[in-house]
Amino acid sequence: MSNIVETTKLTKKDFESDQDVRWCPGCGDYSILANVQKVMPELGVPHENVVWVSGIGCSSRFPYYMNTYGFHTIHGRAPAIAMGVKIANPELSVWVVTGDGDGLSIGGNHLMHALRRNIDIKILMFNNRIYGLTKGQYSPTSEFGKQTKSAPTGAPDYPVDPASFAIGCSATFVARAVDTDAKLLNDILLRAAKHAGTAFMEIYQNCVVFNDGAFDGFADKTQKDEHQLRAIHGQPLIFGAQKNKGLRIDSRTLGLEVATIGEGGVTEKDILVHDETNSTLAYMLARMPFPQFPVAVGVLYAKERPSYDETVLEQVAAAKAKTKPDLQKLLASGNTWTV
Amino acid sequence: MAQQAQPGTVDSSGSKVKTLRGAVVRFAGDSGDGMQVTGTQFTAATALAGNDLATFPDYPAEIRAPAGTTYGVSGFQINFAATDVFTPGDSPDVLVAMNPAALKTNGKDLKRGGLLIVNTGAFTPQNLKKAGYETNPLETDAVDGYNLLAIDITKNTLSAVKETGISSKEANRCKNFWTLGLMFWIYGRELESTIKWIESKFAKEPMVAQANVLALKGGWAYGEAAEISHYRYEVPAAPVAKGTYRNIGGNQATALGIAAAAQLSGVPVVFGAYPITPASDILHDLSRLKAYGVTTVQMEDEIAAVCVSIGASYAGKLGITASSGPGIALKTEAMGLAIATELPLVIINVQRGGPSTGLPTKTEQADLLQAVYGRNGEAPLAVFAAASPGDCFYMTLEAVRFAVKYMTPVMLLTDGYLANGAEPWRVPNVADLPEIDVTFRTDPAGFHPFLRDPATLSRPWAVPGTPGLLHRIGGIERDYNSGNISYDPDNHEKMSKTRAAKIAGMTRDIPDQKMELGNDSGKLLVLGWGSTYGAIREAVARSRERGLDVSHAHVRYLNPFPKNLGELLTRFERVLVPEMNLGQLVKLLRTEYLVPAESFTKIKGLPFKIDEIEEKIRQVMES
């Protein structure tokens, strides 16, 4: 990020607001909040230059709990409002908090366009696969057939996968983490902050009230090693409690398959190496079916491309270099006549 | 404004030139016939000749409707005179019909005794059929009562441009300039400015440029050669105030107002927009004014367009958005957010015919109640309206001035008629324009985001990036004393009343309602708003010439009303409110002042004619 400057070292406490946090006890949001507050001082951004923007939903209460500038806006529109903030003042470090409903249902359109424009904002999507604040209806990431208050006989919608949606929208930074994984959250937040463009982070977040345990299959401490695959650029895509499983390409179908190192002549050399600039690989990693495959976390995709704000600033600078504003002249432009 | 001949002068060719007070000319043809270009060039030459004028284009919603059809007809009307002109005119004195469909759709508007110029070359059996004529109307009594000038413009054009050797298809496209040349001859206009325009427009296609110039000259030469000098007229220059003038359309004026606001306030503008007829030209114009502190952002939808503007306002820039009916509907929720968070924002609504998609290219004033009331919750919004194309400039400045002073959204209503209509505009002296004062809060002492100025009740504009002012705002109700989230019932009532009082209190800065014409008391006040200005002004002027005790006032500040408006209304025996809707201002007036104001409405997607209002005034005065 271009706006990193040396400043007095801030601490986590500096980013804690005086407002009572009103999420349900045990909510995954607490863990994310604590990690974000911890990472913020590491950004080296002047305190007053940090802005958090959100839409509507449980996750969108986030800005109230951050001691920064904050704007709790309307349902789904946070990316568009954040874009206005960034265009107005490119020095600001602009962060968006959204949820699966806010970001992919009512606000799917704005999310898509923010991603393709590559405006320099950081988007945290808390994905709990349920509507929390409206008390438990299925969301656009809820699994097909999920029984909820609004779908007693099962959700008839097929879900969208946020990370692969983002890749499909030509996002330049797509990462994924689990709410309780402090280390990984820390890593991807810092990476996102340094990325000059839209950074999209999908965070699996447990809703204790309406969808408790939704991610236990891979998020639970006992399952994590076996069922999560931490993608690291330049390193083989290896996972498993024994660190002996890996992904490789089935050359006949061009699909991924799980191979066990040491079985059937498979060695580490046969395993795919993560290339975070390869959007096709990132897409495949994002969409691996669980539990046949592990859940990929970490930075799935990252590639620099000129950001929207950079391009706009360049155009404005070019216009200003070419034309010296003269309002009187502008008003009298075109055919004129004098009486 | 009839074509009444007065004792004339003698022109160079020796033929009599009749002097007219003014004339209304309409060009009508197929979408592909170049009628808008013809009209615009005729306007430029007319302005240079010193006439006062007003213009209005009328084009189909379809970009290229099938050739020869009635729904593919494109028109352009100009009213020019030796006296003040306030509207593009009622019925044309001269109609140029380039094909049967143009005659079919426009013929009925031509004044009895008016001059009808038709291109007989386009009156083919096929075109006649497409226009729905069973027989050629030029050979029937359909054109009786008009002065018919039937010319094979197609053939004349082809012959005029023959020497260039361009294809007959290209040659055929020069018809409009041939016609323009003839019209220039009829009204004694200089060809020079149009020749220059053609040469610059077609600089990369010299053959096309040459052909169009030859066509233009050919039309003029036809006038000289044919025995039609009895159709030659002179409209003397109008006595207008000294100054430098330019022609300006409403959207153009709005865009210039936005650029001027950025310059006058020293605060750059972020203009968020989504393309929509008839507002898009504001975006087009502004996208070329980056050097003037205007950043345009074409967003993914109307909601995003207003949201990006709100985000910019929050971060300390002037957030402005513009749209029309359906787009404004989509922006409604976000406008509520700006009202609740008390951020400056200007929303320009270039009204069109509705509801739903309605009549995208037609005009209407049916969004007034939506502007004043159309949001969830008690969400007061300041609403202003421009009265003429040039007035769009000044009212845009006003909208910005109030938005930043009162930290609130302001909606500016214009409409398709203002947006696309044009009039000569005296270029203002920048030094005479109002100042737009903006103060950003920087002092952390005692700060909270909803600390109010005791006089205006506006909150401080405290923008991200300012040390010591970290705070959170949002759409949830906030505490009067701290700005923190509050669900307290008494607090909500206090905040609701405060927000309402803030808007109501704008009257301290809103100029008193003035009279446009006539006494400030009497028998009848005709009270209008928006683009009906010209028609009402002229109708009242004519009525007064006939000795009727009638006055005209025009409301530019619709919410809140100027503080003297209620008292002004009581000084008239009757109040008549003409509107292009089913009676919206009249409802507001009755509600606010309990006056028996009478409604006079028109909702055809077309502006009022002067005659219609004049006739209504006569009826009211007699009843």
What is the tens place of the pLDDT at every residue in B323-348?
999 999 999 999 999 999 999 999 99
Going across the sheet that includes A255-260, the strands are A238-239, A245-250, A255-260
| Residue A82 neighbours by CB under 8 Å, 6+ apart | A51, A53, A94, A95, A96, A114, A119, A121, B311
Would you call A81 and B468 a contact, using CB atoms and an 8 Å cutoff?
no
Minimum distance, in Å, between the CA of residue A294 and any CA atom of chain B: 36
Cβ of B475 within 8 Å of Cβ of A73? The answer is yes
- pLDDT band per the 50, 70, 90 thresholds, residue B16: low
The pLDDT, as a whole number, for residue A210 is 97
Q: Is residue A276 part of a domain?
A: no
Q: How far is A9 from chain B (nearest CA, A)?
A: 15
pLDDT at B15: 57
Residue B534: exposed, middle, or buried by beta-carbon count in 10 A (0-12, 13-18, 19+)? buried
User: What's the pLDDT score for residue A39?
Assistant: 96
Token output for B509: 């800065």
pLDDT number for residue A2: 46
| Interface probe with B: pick from A13, A96, A311, A331, most Cβ of B within 10 Å | A331
pLDDT given for residue B240 in this prediction: 83
Whether A73 and B307 lie within 8 Å, measured CB to CB? yes
Residues whose CB falls within 8 Å of the CB of residue A185, separated by 6 or more in sequence, listed in order: A31, A32, A35, A36, A39, A177, A179, A203
Q: Are B11 and B17 contacting, i.e. CB atoms less than 8 angstroms apart?
A: yes
User: What is the model's pLDDT at position A1?
Assistant: 43
Do the beta carbons of residue B244 and residue B48 sit within 8 Å? Answer: no
* pLDDT, tens digit (0-9, with 9 covering 90-100), for B387-421: 999 999 999 999 999 999 999 999 999 999 999 99
Residue B58: beta bridge partners? B75
Cα separation, A77 vs A103, in Å, equals 8
In angstroms, the first-to-last Cα distance of chain B is 27
Interface-testing mutation among B472, B473, B478, with chain A (most A C-beta atoms within 10 A): B472
Mean pLDDT for A310-325 is: 96
- Please count the residue pairs, one from chain A and one from chain B, whose beta carbons lie less than 8 angstroms apart: 201
Domain around A186: 12-214+306-313
φ, ψ (nearest 5 deg) of residue B355: -80, 180
Beta-strand relationship, B147-151 and B233-234 = unpaired
Q: How many CB atoms lie within 10 A of CB B84?
A: 15
Q: What is the percent of chain B with per-residue pLDDT over 70, rounded to a whole number?
A: 97
Instruction: Please give the domain boundaries of chain B with CATH numbers for all domains.
Output: 6-234 (3.40.920.10), 247-432 (3.40.50.970), 515-622 (3.40.50.920)
Confidence at residue B14, expressed as pLDDT on a 0 to 100 scale? 53
Q: CB atoms < 10 A from the CB of A225, how many?
A: 15
Q: Which residues contact B490 (CB under 8 A, 6 or more apart)?
A: none
Whole-number Å distance between alpha carbons of B384 and B182: 43
Q: Does a structural domain hold residue A324?
A: no
Q: Does residue B3 carry a pLDDT above 70?
A: no
Q: Is it true that the peptide bond before B7 is cis, omega within 30 degrees of 0?
A: no
What end-to-end distance do the CA atoms of chain A give, in Å? 56
Q: Is the N-terminal amide bond of B389 cis, ω within 30° of 0?
A: no
**CA separation for the pair B551, B569 (Å, rounded):** 11
Q: How many CB atoms lie within 10 A of CB A4?
A: 13
Query: Is A199 part of any domain?
Result: yes
> Which of A77, A85, A322 is facing B314, going by the closest CB pair?
A85
Query: What per-residue confidence (pLDDT) applies to A254?
Result: 94
Residue A273: DSSP 8-state: B
Give the count of alpha carbons within 13 A of A318, CB side only: 7
Whether A263 maps to a domain, the answer reads no
When CB atoms are compared, the residue of A315, A324, A328 closest to B290 is A315
User: Are B311 and A71 within 8 A, CB to CB?
Assistant: yes
What is the band of A339 on the pLDDT scale with cuts at 50, 70, 90? confident
Q: Which of B334, B463, B470 sits opposite A74 (nearest CB)?
A: B334
Classify residue A27: in a domain, yes or no: yes
Per residue in A52-78, pLDDT (tens digit) is 999 999 999 999 999 999 999 999 999
Residue A139 lies in a domain: yes
Q: Which residues are B415's β-sheet partners?
A: B351
Identity of the residue in A19, A89, A339 whose CB atom sits nearest the CB atom of B484? A19
Phi, psi (degrees; rounded to nearest 5) at A16: -95, 125
| Residue B239 binned pLDDT confidence (cut-offs 50, 70, 90) | confident
Q: How far is A37 from chain B (nearest CA, A)?
A: 15
Strand partners, B551: B525
Please report whether residue A222 resides in a domain. Answer: no
Q: Tell me: pLDDT of A308 over 50.
A: yes
C-alpha–C-alpha distance, residues A106 and B13, integer Å:
72
Confidence check: pLDDT of A6 > 90:
no
Whether A180 is in a domain gets the answer yes
Min Cα distance A257 → chain B (Å) is 39
- B67 pLDDT tier (thresholds 50, 70, 90): confident
* Mean pLDDT, range B253-281, rounded to an integer: 98
Quick one: which H or E segment has residue A1?
none
Question: Which residues, in sequence order, are bridge partners of residue B473?
Answer: A71
Higher pLDDT, A306 or B237: A306
Q: How far is A116 from chain B (nearest CA, A)?
A: 11
Residues of A with Cβ-Cβ distance to B312 under 8 angstroms: 84-85, 87-88
Query: Which pLDDT belongs to residue B541?
Result: 96
Radius of gyration of chain A (CA): 22
Helix H, strand E, coil C: the string for B222-270 is: HHHHCCCHHHCEECCCCCCCCCEEEEEEHHHHHHHHHHHHHHHHCCCEE
Provide ipTM, 2 decimals: 0.96
Instruction: Work out the pLDDT band at A336, boundaries 50, 70, 90.
Output: confident
Residues B158, B165: Cα–Cα separation, whole Å: 10
Q: Which chain A residues are Cβ-neighbours of B47 within 8 angstroms? A: 335, 337
Structure confidence at residue B6 as a pLDDT band (50, 70, 90): very low
Mean pLDDT over B67-81 rounds to: 93
Q: What is the dihedral of CA A193, A194, A200, A203, to 10 degrees?
A: -50
Amino acid occupying residue B409: P
Contact B285, B248 (CB under 8 A): no
Q: How far apart are CA B55 and CA A129, in angstroms?
A: 58
For chain B, what is the mean pLDDT? 94
Partner residue opposite B465 with nearest CB, options A48, A64, A319: A48
Asked if the Cβ–Cβ distance from A87 to B312 is below 8 Å, we say yes
> Residue B59 pLDDT more than 90?
no
| 3-state DSSP assignment of residue B580 | coil
Interface test with A, best of B310, B436, B448 (most A CBs within 10 A): B310
Q: Which residue of A has its CA nearest to B308?
A: A84
One-letter amino acid at A60 equals S
CATH number, domain containing residue A177: 3.40.50.970
How far is Cα A80 from Cα A218, in angstroms, rounded to an integer? Answer: 33
- Nearest in space to A136 (alpha carbons), one of A207, A79, A67, A69: A207
As a whole number, mean pLDDT of residues A169-193 equals 97
How does pLDDT run across A77-91, given as a tens digit for each residue? Answer: 999 999 999 999 999
Which whole number is the average pLDDT over B360-377? Answer: 96
Percent of chain A with pLDDT over 70: 98
Q: Which of B314, B426, B469, B476 should one mutate to test binding to chain A, selecting the residue with the greatest count of A CBs within 10 A? A: B314
Contact B334 A77 (CB under 8 A): yes
At B482, which helix (H) or strand (E)? none
pLDDT for the residue B65: 77
Q: Which of B41, B19, B75 is nearest to B198 (CA)?
A: B41
How near does any CA of chain A get to the CA of B409, in Å? 16
Is the Cβ–Cβ distance between B489 and B495 less than 8 Å? no
HEC letters along B77-106:
EEEEECCCCCCCCCCCCEEEECCHHHHHHH
- Shortest distance, CA A216 to any CA of chain B (angstroms): 34
The domain total for chain A is 1
Yes or no, beta carbons of B243 and A338 under 8 Å apart: yes
Mutate to test the interface with B, among A45, A117, A133, A335 (most CBs of B within 10 A): A335
**Residue A49's closest chain B neighbor by CA?**
B465
pLDDT for B57: 86
The rounded distance, in Å, linking the Cα atoms of B157 and B620 is 52
